[in-house]
Amino acid sequence: MTYNDTTATSDKEKADLFADYFENDVYSYTDDTLPFHDQVTSPASNIKKKSITSLNTPKWKQITIEEVKYHIKQLRNGSAGPDNIHNRCLKNSSELLIQHLTKLFNQILKQGYIPTKWKTANIILILKPKKDKQHPSSYRKGETADLK
């Protein structure tokens, strides 16, 4: 497989090549998207620099059990994410689990911390029909994430 005059033969080299392709060619910033990127990252950086105290912690509206139930019903029945929990398991869960999830989500909002594992997805590369499998641009990506 070749991309930008780099040839990859091992699985690791191919994975790195795909990462470069998707980062640079598919999701790169353009003149159209850069202003939006700057608008988002600048305030986010300022927020990260501030220390969180009871004086500057935002007062979030508590998530309700009804909201959690509603959003669980909206989940797609796709493949399980890295946690191996299928969405259909959540859809068929007990009231007790919904209560615990609601408490967990509210605690996450209160603490301002999202678990790193929740920011992880399994990436699946799918060869486009009638395309050369030796070129990264011949693939589209699919992903499965926790709580998608």
pLDDT tens by residue, 87-114 = 888 899 899 999 999 999 998 888 888 8
pLDDT surpasses 80 at 40: no
Tell me what pLDDT residue 146 has.
62
Nearest CA to 116 out of 124, 108, 126, 127 is that of 108
- Residue 68 structure tokens: 């959690």
Share of the chain above pLDDT 70, in %: 72
Place of tokens 């909002």: 109
pLDDT (mean) for 71-83: 83
In this predicted structure, the answer to whether residue 70 has a pLDDT above a threshold of 60 is yes
Give the burial string for 100-134 (b: 16+ CB within 10 Å, else e).
ebbeebbeeeeeeeeeeeeeeeeeeeeeeeeeeee
pTM value? Answer: 0.53
